[in-house]
Amino acid sequence: MNVVYILLPVALLIAVGYLILFIISVRKGQYDDTTTPAVRMLFDDDEKKKQDDSEQE
């Protein structure tokens, strides 16, 4: 059971890391607009694929 003394802080440390990432992403405005990015990333991918295709040809 003594392994808990290591496990607990390590688990918390990882969780805090994700919390910090979340706070950074909120501050950067990732959650300001939740509709458009879902649409926009579709276009970008499509175009890249098109370019890749033409490069292969």
Partner 1 sequence: MECTHCGLPVPAALVEPEADEQFCCNGCRTVYRVIQGYGLDRFYDLKDVSDARQAARTTDRQYREYDDPKFSELYVRPAGSGLRSVELYLEGVHCAACVWLVEKTPVLLEGVHEVRLDLGKSMARVTWDPARVNLSAVARSLDSLGYPAHPFRGVRVRDMRRKEDRALLIRIGVAGFCAGNIMLISFALYGGMFHGISDEFRNLFHWASLTISLPAVLWCAGLFYRSAWGAVRARTTHMDIPISLGILTGFLWGVFSTVTGRGEVYYDSVTLLIFLLLAGRWVQRNQQRRAADASELLYSLAPTSARLVVDGQVHESPLEAVLPGATVEVRAGDSVPVDGVVLEGNSSLNVALLSGESRPVEVQRSDRVFAGTENLASRLLVEVTGTGEDTRVGRLMKLVEEAGRRKAPVIRLADRISGWFVSTVLLLAAGTALVWWWIDPGLAVEHAVALLVVTCPCALGLATPLAVSAAIGKAARLGILIKGGDVLERLARPGRIVLDKTGTLTEGKSRLVQWIGDETVRADLAALERHSAHPVARAFVEGVEPSEEQPNAILEDARGGGIRGTVDGRHVVAGSPGYMRSRNASFPAWAEAALQEVTTAGLTPVLVSRGEEVLALAGIGDPVRQDSRSTLRRIGEAGWQVEVLSGDYPAVVHAVAADLGIDPARAHGGRQPEEKLDYIISAVAADEHAVVMVGDGINDAAALSAASVGVGVHGGAEAALSAADVFLTREGLSPVAELLDGARRTFKVIRLNLIFSLLYNLIGAVLAIAGRIDPLAAAILMPVSSLTVITLSYRANTFRRSRNR
Q: What is the chain's length?
A: 57
In angstroms, rounded to a whole number, what is the distance separating the alpha carbons of residues 34 and 41?
A: 12
Residues 8-27 touching partner 1, rule: CB under 8 A, are 8, 11-12, 15-16, 18-19, 22-23, 26-27
Q: Please say whether the beta carbons of 31 and 25 come within 8 A.
A: yes
Query: Minimum CB separation from partner 1 for residue 19, in Å?
Result: 5
Helix (H) or strand (E) holding 30: none
> Going by C-beta distance under 8 Å and a sequence separation of 6 or more, which residues neighbour residue 25?
31
User: CB-wise, 38 or 56, nearer to partner 1?
Assistant: 38
# binding residues, partner 1 (CB under 8 A): 25
Footprint of partner 1 (CB under 8 A): 1, 4-5, 8, 11-12, 15-16, 18-19, 22-23, 26-27, 29, 31-36, 39-40, 42-43
